[in-house]
Structures are given as structure tokens and as C-alpha cells.
Structure 1
Amino acid sequence: MAEQGAARAPALPEGRVHPDTILALNGMGSFDWDLDTGLLTMDAQAHRIFDLTPQEYDGRPESLAARVPGSESTRLDSLVTQAMKDNSERYGTYLRIRRRDGSLTWIHTQGHISRDTSGRPRRIIGIVRDATDELDDGAGLSERAGRRERMNVVQSTTAALAHARTVQDVIDVVRDTHGLTRFGSTSLVLGLVEAGRIRLVAEGPKGASVPGTRVTRIDEPYPMSEAVRTLSPCFIESPEEFAERYPVLWPRLTDLNITSAAYLPLIAQARPIGGMGLLYSDRRGFTPEERDILIALGSSIAQSLQRAVLYEQDKDLARSLQQAMLPRTIPGVPGADVAVRYRSGYDGGTSGRDVGGDWYDLIPLPGGGLHGGARVGAVIGDVQGHDTHAATVMGQLRIVLRAYAAEGHTPATVMARASVFLHELDTDRFATCLYAEADLSTGVVQVVRAGHIDPLVRDDGGCRRVSVDGGLPLGLSAEFGGLDYPVCTMELDPGETLILCTDGLVEQPGADLDDGVRSVCASVASGPDDVEALADELIGMSELRGGDDDVALLILRRRALAEQQPVACVRQHVPPGDPEALVRARHAIRAAARSLGAGTRSDEIELVADELITNALQHTEGPAVVTLRLLSGPGRRLRVEVEDPSSALPRRHADRPAGEQGVSGRGLLLVDHLADSWGVQARGSGKCLWGEFVVPEPE
């Protein structure tokens, strides 16, 4: 390695001495650490300082493990890492290394961190030297070694606390017997202040707390209570002092052979949040330096505890906000089994306020068959961002979309109006969304997609992705004038399952989206038939995979109803001013009614359909759409529906004056007389008049 480093050195003018020679004459060796490749090149003098031959060192820092003890290596790694995070240019420290014969000696190393134009560390160039002579002054070396050992504990504990997010994480670090017991303490206890009391939350080793002190008042005569009450550390340097100052507690400690103790208040923002006690069995008294180190340790623990408490409070607030924005319950749906799930991807994040804008919803729709199953709207969506603003936008968008769907608007209209609403909120957020309107009596599903991932369908042959033509995400389509959302019509047979999810379920770090979809399809195909069990399995899969994104999931399985009958549907469009279209619609209704076994009631069904169509064409300016379908389930019924664009509700003859010759206004009386039941439903800006007829069972 040294020879390689020397070979790369540039030639110097005659009479000039190479820097490596100057370093060697001063007992210094040099190293060059390439952070991109991880290779650490050392010159010959550095090899001698580490007591290594070039053949024993392969250029990897890990190869120095035989010479650098684990605690020293950890401390050096922490020092270098912190220097790089702080944008420092250099660092320096003393290290103990183990020579070939097993003896320990001191070296000093310092390095210069070289960065690229973006500030990223790329290279560390530095020197090492033997520091045994300057530190080896008999007792001074032992004292420095002890001091350095204590500082190592503080540094390693502080480094571990930096990764603690929850209160339990802090507790786990504090009671780690491989950390604080290096101070020589026999045991430790940690308590938190709660409503004027101190509750012990950690002890090390197990059973180290004194009986009767699990919960104490701050005004009681105990050393931890005093430290918390006075906001000052309490150092007890001898058993005699302990017995004199705390006569109530001391009798309980006599069997533990306690010779001294240190109780530290945990203070954050000038108020006590807890206290920590360290008890010793083999020492008396504390030097000023030891007191300073313990106080610094207590300060570090206090800051970590406060950060953890705030994190958990923010996390609870975010979770409550998310749950408030999502539907509290999902209604039961005749003809279907439904399961919904939500998983936050930021449970392990650095901020408790990280909350996503993913949502699901299931909306009962007007016009469902009375016996054959409901009409429902299934929604899945994701508002851009992970913060409380995304969650509040999501809540508003969910409510508005639900209102538009419940009014009876078509799926494309629901999506377009939701996009306009989001755009008018004056927010910089957009949202992806998928809306599926399902008639569970017929199995017909109309799907509209706004920048969202496609739905999945599971059948007997496995699971497939249904390709749906989509429009721009909500908000963007209104901004750029692209409010036309294509509608994809599909059929969901009994036993088939519709799966809607957000991209957090299918996206995998470093993998293509299509690969993630195929993976989820495979899991769905091999998963359980029960929708609740399937939902649990898919969410469990996403939790194992991890990731920062949230997951919203809605699963709808169409089930076969008892005594289900064949289902048929006829739909005719009747434009205004086209008598032939009205005749064709009447003929289609009569023929369909007869083919569906209506028998003698076919004429009544045709007459009611004619009255409803004529009423729509006479009293509105738009077209009429007539539908005839057989409702599934016991008690066979044929249902006639006529939709028109007017929101004005019809009135019976008794409610308004008759027209010319007393004929106009009697149509609804005829409908009321012929149909077994009838009614009117709002459909967005229009309405739907319907009538139902009981028909005989087929022979």
C-alpha cells in the first residue's frame, strides 16, 4: 500500500524534499481515504504506527479492526460522521490501539475532509502519529484513560439517543447495561414527572429500584425528588452522608452496599420532565470533571425525552386527525362483502405530524334494486403531500365527492365537479382518484380514473389489472381545462372481487410500478376468499415491505344472493322531437317485458313507460333515457326508469289544474294505478321517475 501511494506521488524539483519524507522524519504517517470506493491508502510510516505489514493490510478500513478496539472504532466513526454532517473541514482525536504483542498504546489522528461542489464529502486526507510519549506520564496516563473512557460512554450514549424517537426508545438506551454501567454504577433508575409525582419508567439491572419508590411525590424527602424540585443535581459522596440526608430512604438501601450516588434532574426548556439516579458500590466522592460529565449526560437524556414526548403527542394528533377525516364506519351493502384498511407509512418517521392524504369511501347511491342489491360508489384517492394540510384537503374533497355522488350525478360528472372544487380551494395540492359506480343487481360497474392507478379484479382464474382510460388528477384537470373523464364499463360477476388501492400498496423501493402491480396481483390471487382476511394479508405485506407512503385499500366482493334470478337490462335513449325514437323505445320495452316473462303485464309496463317518457319530453328540454331491468332476488320485479335533465318534480292531477279539455296532468294517476310501486329520485341536476311491477315466476 505504501509503495502504491509513493508511486502516485508527483515528481518534485531537484533539491526539494517530498512531504512524505518530512512526515516520516517527524514520526508521522499519512493516509488517503476515498469515500466513494471505501479504500483507505496508508504510507509505510502509517503501517509502522499501526504495527502492520503491507501484506496484512488490504486497503479496507475493516482490516484495522485487529488493531483498533471496538469502543475506539465506534468513537472514531461517530467523530468522523459528525464532522461530515456539520460540514467541518477537519477533525482530530487520540485513540488507543492494540499492537501485535497485545499491549495498548496511544496514537493521534487528524484528517481533512475534501468535498465536491455540491458539498458532498468525497475524500479524507490525514496523518497519524504515535502519541504514547506525550500521554505516558504514569498516573496521568491512567487518569486520561479513565476520563476518555467516561467521555466515550457519554458520546456513545448521545449518539444512541440521537436515533431515539419514542419515550420507550430513550428508556431502552438509558437502561442498556453496556452503556451507563461503564461509569462503574451498580444500578440506575429513571423517572418521569406526571401530575406532581415521579413515576419510575426504567431501571437497570432489573429489580434495581427500591421497594416503595415506584411512584413518589415531588415534595417527599427522597434524593430524586429533591433534584427535580430544586432543578439541581444531588451528589451523595458517602454512606454516612446518604444516611444523614435521607434517613427515610437509607434503611432500604443498606443491603445494596451503596457507597455513593448521583441524582440528576432532567430539565427541558427550564422545567423538569424527570430525574435519573446512578448508584455506586465501589467508590466515594465525585471529581469536578465527573460531575460535569454526569450533568452533560443528564442534559442529553432530558433533551431526547422531550423530543420523544413531543413526537408521540404530534403522532397522536396526526392519527386522530387522519381517523376523523376517514369514514367512521362503512355501511353494509346488500349483495356485497366490503373491507377497508388504512396504514400510515410514517409510523417510524422523524416527525409525528407526518400524515397522509390517502382515503377511501363507500357511498350508497339512489336507484338500487329493492330486492336485487344496492347501487354503491366506491372511492379511492390520494392528496399530494404528507402533512396536516394534505389531510384537511383530503377530508374536504372526500365530503364533496360523496355529496356529488349521492345526488345521482354520472361518474364522469362527479369527477369533473370534484376537480373544479379542489381547484377553487386555492391550494397548491392536487389529488389522484378512482371512482367506481357499481350496480350490484346487474354487476355493471362504471369506472372513472383521475391520474390514479388502475383497479384490480380477482376471479376464478386469478387476479388481473383492468386498464382504464383516465384523465388528469383532480385540481389539475380544472386548471388546464381537461374535465372530460372517460368512463370504462365492466361487469363484476357473482363471486368476483374489485380491489381499489393507493400506490403505497404497489410501489416498491427500487422496483418498477408494473412489477409492484404484478406482485400484488399474485398475492391477491393466492390470498383468502374472505375480504377481511384478504385485506389483512395485503396490509401485512405492505408493512413487511416498509416504505414511507401511506396505503388506503378498499375491497368489494359481489356475492350471489339467495334464490337469485337471471338479470337482464334494456336501455334506450329518446331524443326530443323524434316520434320514431319514442315508438322504438315502446316496442323495445314491450318486447323485453315479454321475453322476461311479464306475460299479461307487458302491456301495462309498456303503457307506464310511454307515460313516463312522454311526461319527460313534454316538460323538459332535454332527452329522456328509459331503462327496463329485472331485479334479482325473491319476488321477481321488473323496474322501469326514465331519466331526464330537469330537477323539477312532477305533480299529480289533483295538485295542479288540468290542461286542455281536462286531459293533461292525468299521466301520474295512470302510473299510480298500474304500477305496484313508483317514485321519483334526484339524479344530480336531473331526476329519475320509476315504476316496479311484480311478474310471475318462470315455469
Structure 2
Amino acid sequence: MADRGVSAPSLPDDWPDRPDPILALNRMGSFDWDLDTGLTQMDAQALALFDLRPDEFDDHVETLATRLHPPDIPRLDEVVGRALKEGGENYGAYFRIRRRDGSLRWTHTQGYLRRDDTGRARRIIGIVRDATQELRDSRARSEQAARDSARRRQADVAQTTMAALAHARTVQDVIDVLRESEGLTRMGAASLVMGLVEGGRIRLVAEGPTGDFIPGTQITGIDEPYPMSDAVRTLSPQFIESPGEFAARYPILWPHLSHLRITSAAYLPLVAQARPIGGIGLLYGDRHGFTAEERDILVALGSTIAQSLQRAMLYEQESDLAQELQQAMLPRSLPRVPDADVAVRYRAAVLGGSPGRNIGGDWYDLIPLPGGRVGAVVGDVQGHDTQAAAVMGQLRIVLRAYAAEGHTPATVVARASVFLHELDTHRFATCLYAELDPATGVVQFVRAGHVDPLVRHADGGCRRVPVEGGLPLGLSALFDSLEYPVQTLELDPGQTLVLCTDGLVEQPGLDPDDGMRGLAEQVAAGPEDVDDLADRLIARAAARDAADDVALLLLRRRARPRGAGGRLRAHVAPGDPEALREARHMVRAAVRAWGARDRADEIELVTDELITNALMHTEGAAVLTLRSFPGPDRRLRTEVEDSSSALPRRREAGASGVSGRGLLLVDRLADVWGVEARGGGKVVWCEFAVPGDEGP
């Protein structure tokens, strides 16, 4: 054994004639070994260490060897021989001496080699001392250091696990932290099992690392003879320190665990706010028993797990409530749209903190309108909280009501803006409203600070539709800028209208235009079926963990059967030239879509005349309705309804008159026309025969 003792004081050359009293005071013996003669002189203290009387020692080293513990002799010879051979000046070693009573005492020797001028060792002088207590203390320190190291290691693992649990948001997150390779298994646990208290029973939710549940233990009663049940029922940890104790205390469970070679186990109650919410069991295969420090660490760890579980359970409850609130604000079902396929999707934001932050103000809606038309809307209320969702719900209902009343798209959006401003929530919202007649494909867009729509063509291409817009809802009313331009588009059979919120487009560090181009590429490369396409687009947002919620509405126009009829309606308010222009555009697009291109100019001119008469000679708005009647004798019918009961009459305009020619024009161009009383007003109608069967 290498030298680990203290260095002996230097010895005079004429030693041992004058032995140093300091050695005796320090209970050290000395020796002088003449290598030429092999004789050794030892003082009284040295002889006492070897348990020899002066008359028992004959100055020969061999006599001392009889006192040495036999296994130590070769090692001691090797230490001395190496010092002699390698030219060393000293050596040191520990060895054991067997005393008269048979006990072994550790002894340490330190030898100094004296060499002549040629370097040959001629003499060894040195000391010996009792090292039993020294080594005992050293061993105790080593054992304590090992225990301290193990405790620090366990504490470090516990702290690491606690830190990981601090980031767990769901119950599954907690389970994953406990079961992963850097978790509790680093504390020496061969396996773990965890259960939650539900309705007076314990339901196992995790077992690892194998993942195999023991039959019959998935759900157990709190009063059943199982260690986890005992821990939950008594609110006290159950420490099992040996296989025999495990088998004796829990004979029903032990046979199912014997193959795991369990040597000890710790079952901890998971208590939150003085109420048991579950339990966890740690099974060990390399230890017997638990020290007080280990028990304290495990109890503290159980407390942390319980707090994390309670936090996760509350988070999931709040998250479920938030999702239910969000879903309650969205339409439960969508109306059937003739001649169109519709798909809608919503995805909540992925944000940290309270689950309420994951609630957004994005929404979609599909509003049935008279004449087979439909209003499609997507919008986004500012913010991510329950108030944003509540405002969204109110705004969605109000916008639906305004649309159902028959207002023009621009009026619907303007009134919704006023409503939001009057709510005094200090919130604004963006919105894209599209009114579509599936029969003709005519779409009227109004955009309030929202992202533009996309149109996917039947051949798979996709383009962005730039729509001139106004201020977001709420802001336009605040700044008295309620005029929203209306843009019209014809959606051909096979084309798909894509409306979405900015959560599907905008990404941190990405230009919005680049985001729109990327979305268009995704739509173009996606499947034709609207449900499959919607799933793919939402999956795109999920793949990048979109930090904003997403609302998506897809509407694909199907081809109408040849010769099928149709119906369109528009409201034209007095003093609204934009509405009159849009009505003319609608008539032109509808006539072409219904296969009456040859008479398009006549129908548009007559319709414009009827609307103008209604606005000039009555009070209130004019309601325009276009109908297409299929069959061998196809015809188109135009109706203009107003609130006046006074019937129109023909009169001569005279050579210089500016009025009186309207009905003459209607009479000349229409195949047949007439007037019908309707409620508090009337309807002036006219029909046009459409030769052939040129349906789209």
C-alpha cells in the first residue's frame, strides 16, 4: 500500500545511540536495518508495536515477519524491493500485525535509505506507528463521503425532476417527466407506478418503464390491501425495506412483482390541500431499506409531484372549459348550401400561461340568405382571452342577424362595426364577408382590415384575390369611416373559395405577402376535396405551433345540372350609388351564368329602369330579385319590390319630357310584365324568354 501517513522527523546519523525523544512522545517506534549484515535494531516503542518483548527479538528481520499478517508480506516486500531497485530515497506502507491475543492492528512504516558513494543502499532507518485509528477514521470519512455523494446525487436528481415538473402543464406531461430516462429511475428506482383518486377508487395512469399493468390492479379501492391504497388512505408514506416484508404485508400483490427482483419499495401519497389526489410507488432492485435522509427526499418529491398534478388537473379543467366556451361561440352546425361543398375548421392558439390565453377571437360562420344565397364570414377579434371570445360570440350573432335581414354586404359590415364600437370593449376586429349565389357563382366581398381571400381553380392553380378594404370593425365607427367598398367575383364551377384568419398566414419574421404566397402554394398542392384540404391546412398550422388561433372556411362551387333554375336577391338603398352599381353587376353576371348572353343588355337595361323608378317615386329601399325558370320554355324573371302601394301607370312623355318613357321601355323590351300587390307595397316584374337550353 502506498504511503498515506505523516512524514517522520529526520534521524541523526549516529541513531539509535541517541534516540529522539519526540518519536516516543508521538508513540512512534524506530528501527535501524543494516542491509549488509541483515541485522535490525529496534527501540522499545517499536518492539511494543510488534507486541514483542526485548528478549524475544534476536535482531533478525525474519523474526519480525512472524508477527506480520501473511497476506501483507508480499506487498511489503514489493514496496521495499522497488525502493531499493529504483534508487528511491524512502518508502512507506501500511501493513497488519497480529498480536498475541489474535487481534489485527494496522501499522504504518516509513523507511529512509542510506546509500554509499556508489549509490548502493547500505542501511535503512525508519519509524513504525500504530495506524489502526487513523485508517478507521479514514474509512469512516470515505463512507460518509460516499453517503454524502449519494445524497447529493439523489438531491440533484430530485431537483432536476422538480424543475422539469414545474414546466408540466397536463397530467400526461407529469407522467412523461416521471417515466423518462432522466427522471426518477436515476434515483435507482427499477420501476414506478402512479394512480389518481377518482370517485373513491384509485385508477392507475402510469406504470413503467415497461408499461405493463398488473391484471386486476388498474382500478382498486382505497380500502383494499395494496401499498398504494394504504398510502392514500392513511396519507402516510409506506416504506417496504425487504422482499420478505413486501411478501408478508401484501401477499396478494407480491407474486406479481417477484419477477422484477424488487428489494425495497416506497409508496408515497400525493396530497394537495390536505386531500389525497393519488399515489406513486417507486420500486428498487438494488437497495435494502431507506435512510432518514432518503425518506425526507422522497417525501419532499412526493409533495412536489402532488402539486404538479393538482396544477395540471386544474389546467386541464380550465382548458376544457375554455374550449367549451370557444366552441359554444362558434356555430354548432352549418346550413346546407345547394350546389356547393363547405368545410370549416378552427384551431386554438398555442400559448403558455393560463389556458384562458389559448382562447381567441377568431370565428367563422355560414349564413343562409333568401333565394338560395349564402353569406360566408371569417373574423378575428383582437386579443387572446375569454373577453375576446365573448365579444366574438356577440359580433358573430349580430353580423348574422344583419345579413339575414337582407342588408347589402357593405351595410352588414358597417352596422357590425357600429355595434362593436358601442359595446365599449376597447376591442377591434377584422372581418371578411362574402355573399355568394351558388346558382350564378356571383360573390360580393367586403373586407374590414382582414387578409384577402384565395380562389383555387378547377385545374389546381390558386390565386390571391386583392379586395379593396376598409378599417377594422370598431375602428371604422370610431373614425366615422363606415363606407366599405364592395368587390364582385364570379366563382366558376369547380373553383374553391378560401377564407381564413391571419393565424394561417402570418409567422414571426415572415413578410405577410410571403405568407400569403406560401398559403396559395399549399392550397394549390392540396387535395380537391374541401374536407381533406381543410385538414391539410390546419395540420400546417399545427406543425409550426402557430401562436395565433386559426379560423378557416372553404367553399367549393359544384357544377349545376344543365337547365337548372336559380334565384338572386339584392337590396338597393336610396342614395347608395355603390349598391346600384353592384346590383347592375350582379344582373350582368347572373344573366351570363344562366345562359342568356344574347339578351343580357335588354335585361340589364329593364332592371335598371325598374330600380330607378322605385328609388325615385317611393320611399325606402328597392329589393331586386332575379329568377331563372328551367324547362323547354326557359325564361328569366326580374322583380323589383318597394314599400309603396301606388301602382305605376303609363303616360305620354311629350317631345321634351324627361319622364314617362320608363314603362314604355319595359313594355318594348320585356316579353311580358306586370304589377303585384305585396303586403304594404308592390312588385313590378317582367320576364324574358331565353331560346334554347344553354345552361352552364
Class of the TM-score when normalised by the shorter of the 2 chains: 0.5 to 0.7
Which position in structure 2 is the counterpart of 1:505?
A: 504
SS in 2 for 1:198: strand
Which position in structure 2 is the counterpart of 1:320?
A: 324
TM-score normalised to the size of structure 2? Answer: 0.66
Q: Distance in 2 between matches of 1:165 and 1:381?
A: 30
Q: Distance in 1 between matches of 2:244 and 2:486?
A: 86
CA radius of gyration, larger in = 2
1:362 and 2:360 aligned: no
Which position in structure 1 is the counterpart of 2:480?
A: 481
Q: Distance in 1 between matches of 2:606 and 2:211?
A: 88
1:495 and 2:476 aligned: no
| 8 Å Cα contact 1:437/1:447 also seen in 2 | yes
Distance 1:406-1:634 versus aligned 2 partners, 3 A rule: farther
| 8 Å Cα contact 1:456/1:500 also seen in 2 | yes
Q: CA deviation at 1:575?
A: 8.5
Q: CA deviation at 1:432?
A: 0.4
Distance 1:294-1:680 versus aligned 2 partners, 3 A rule: farther
Distance 1:235-1:575 versus aligned 2 partners, 3 A rule: closer
Distance 1:597-1:400 versus aligned 2 partners, 3 A rule: closer
Which position in structure 1 is the counterpart of 2:152?
A: 148
Aligned residue among 391, 394, 397 for 1:396:
394
Gaps of 5+ in 2: 1-137, 648-671
Q: CA deviation at 1:636?
A: 2.7
Alignment of structure 1 residues 89-238 onto 2, 5 Å: 137-206=141-210, 210-238=214-242
Q: CA deviation at 1:397?
A: 0.5
SS in 2 for 1:556: strand
Distance 1:250-1:436 versus aligned 2 partners, 3 A rule: closer
Which position in structure 2 is the counterpart of 1:275?
A: 279
Task: State the one-letter code of the partner of 2:171.
Answer: V
Aligned residue among 293, 306, 310 for 1:306:
310
Task: State the one-letter code of the partner of 1:427.
Answer: T
Which position in structure 2 is the counterpart of 1:525?
A: 524
SS in 1 for 2:503: coil
Q: CA deviation at 1:217?
A: 0.5
Which position in structure 1 is the counterpart of 2:640?
A: 642
Q: Distance in 1 between matches of 2:297 and 2:251?
A: 28
SS in 2 for 1:405: helix
RMSD (Å), alpha carbons: 4.2
Q: What do the CA deviations read for 1:330-359 (whole angstroms, capped 9, x no partner)?
A: 22212322221111222x644322211111
Q: Distance in 1 between matches of 2:565 and 2:215?
A: 75
Q: CA deviation at 1:252?
A: 4.7
232-241 or 626-635: bigger deviation: 626-635
Task: State the one-letter code of the partner of 1:337.
Answer: D
Which position in structure 1 is the counterpart of 2:557?
A: 558
Q: CA deviation at 1:195?
A: 0.5
Which position in structure 2 is the counterpart of 1:457?
A: 455
Distance 1:227-1:689 versus aligned 2 partners, 3 A rule: farther
SS in 2 for 1:386: coil
Q: Distance in 1 between matches of 2:509 and 2:682?
A: 51
SS in 1 for 2:373: strand
Q: Distance in 2 between matches of 1:326 and 1:483?
A: 26
| 8 Å Cα contact 1:454/1:466 also seen in 2 | yes
| 8 Å Cα contact 1:187/1:208 also seen in 2 | no
Task: State the one-letter code of the partner of 2:347.
Answer: R
Q: Distance in 1 between matches of 2:241 and 2:646?
A: 96
Q: CA deviation at 1:532?
A: 2.1
Task: State the one-letter code of the partner of 1:447.
Answer: F
Q: Distance in 2 between matches of 1:319 and 1:496?
A: 33
Task: State the one-letter code of the partner of 1:352.
Answer: P
Gaps of 5+ in 1: 1-133, 369-373, 653-673
SS in 2 for 1:337: strand
SS in 2 for 1:546: coil
| 8 Å Cα contact 1:438/1:446 also seen in 2 | yes
Task: State the one-letter code of the partner of 1:363.
Answer: I
Which position in structure 1 is the counterpart of 2:355?
A: 352
Distance 1:638-1:210 versus aligned 2 partners, 3 A rule: closer
Q: Distance in 2 between matches of 1:691 and 1:536?
A: 46
Distance 1:156-1:509 versus aligned 2 partners, 3 A rule: same
| 8 Å Cα contact 1:640/1:692 also seen in 2 | yes
SS in 2 for 1:500: strand
**Percent identity of paired positions between Structure 1 and Structure 2:** 63
483-492 or 448-457: bigger deviation: 483-492
Q: What do the CA deviations read for 1:208-253 (whole angstroms, capped 9, x no partner)?
A: 6544322111112222111111211111223444344445444554
Q: Distance in 1 between matches of 2:332 and 2:383?
A: 23
1:339 and 2:343 aligned: yes
168-177 or 149-158: bigger deviation: 168-177
Q: CA deviation at 1:375?
A: 1.6
Q: How many equivalent pairs are there?
A: 517
Distance 1:150-1:623 versus aligned 2 partners, 3 A rule: closer
| 8 Å Cα contact 1:575/1:623 also seen in 2 | yes
Q: CA deviation at 1:545?
A: 2.5
Q: CA deviation at 1:440?
A: 2.8
Which position in structure 1 is the counterpart of 2:436?
A: 438
1:291 and 2:295 aligned: yes
1:405 and 2:403 aligned: yes
Q: Distance in 2 between matches of 1:223 and 1:614?
A: 90
Q: Distance in 2 between matches of 1:329 and 1:205?
A: 44
Q: What do the CA deviations read for 1:157-204 (whole angstroms, capped 9, x no partner)?
A: 122222322211211221234432233233221111111001111112
Q: CA deviation at 1:522?
A: 1.5
Distance 1:572-1:439 versus aligned 2 partners, 3 A rule: closer
